[in-house]
A = this chain, B = another copy of it.
Amino acid sequence: MAESEHEMIARLLAPLSRWLPGAFALTDDAAALRPPEGCEFVVTMDTLIDGVHFRFDGTPPSAAMAARKALAVNVSDLAAKGAEPFAYLLSLALPAGHGDWLDGFVSGLAAAQDDFGLKLAGGDTVRTNGAFAITITAFGIVPNGRMIRRSSARPGDILIVSGTIGDAFAGLALDRGDSQTSDWSGQLDDSGRKSLLARNRTPTPRVQLIPALRQFATASLDVSDGLAIDASRLAAASGVGIEIDASSVPLSAACDTLRTAGKLRLEQLMTGGDDYEVLATLAPESEAGFRQAAAQAGVRVTRIGRTVMGAGLAVRDSADKLMELDRLGWDHLS
Q: Which residues of A contact B (CB under 8 A)?
A: 4-7, 22, 24, 27-35, 40-49, 51-53, 77-78, 80-81, 83, 89-91, 93-94, 121-131, 133, 135, 137, 140, 142, 144-145, 147, 149-151, 221-222, 237, 331-334
Contact = CB atoms under 8 A, between A and B. Distances in A.
A34 B40 contact: yes
B45 A123 contact: yes
Contact of A32 (B41, B91, B222, B334): B41
B127 A130 contact: no
Q: Report, nearest first, the 7 A-B pairs whose CB atoms are least far apart.
A: A130-B130, A34-B40, A130-B131, A30-B44, A127-B333, A137-B137, A4-B331
17 contacts: A28-B149, A30-B83, A32-B42, A32-B43, A32-B142, A34-B40, A45-B89, A47-B124, A49-B93, A49-B130, A52-B126, A53-B126, A89-B137, A126-B333, A129-B130, A130-B131, A137-B137
Q: Most chain-B Cβ atoms within 10 A of its Cβ — which of A40, A80, A93?
A: A93
Nearest to A128: B49
A4 to B, nearest CB: 4
A229 to B, nearest CB: 10
Contact of A94 (B27, B237, B333): B333
A14 B133 CA distance: 25
B123 A30 contact: no
A30 B135 contact: no
B46 A40 contact: no
Given A52-B128, A129-B130, A135 B47 contact: yes
Given A126-B333, A133-B133, A27 B151 contact: yes
Contacts of A127: 49, 52, 332-334
A6 B28 CA distance: 35
Contact of A237 (B27, B47, B332): B27
A129 B131 contact: yes
Given A5-B332, A43-B31, A93 B137 contact: no
A7 B330 CA distance: 12
A78 to B, nearest CB: 7
Nearest to A142: B32
Nearest to A92: B47
Nearest to A145: B32
A7 to B, nearest CB: 8
B27 A40 contact: no
Nearest to A38: B34
A285 B46 CA distance: 47
Contacts of A122: 43-45
B81 A29 contact: yes
Given A47-B124, A49-B129, A126-B53, A222 B332 contact: no
Contact of A128 (B125, B131, B147): B131
A234 to B, nearest CB: 10
A89 B44 CA distance: 8
A149 B334 CA distance: 39
Given A27-B151, A27-B237, A151-B27, A46 B4 contact: no
B137 A45 contact: yes
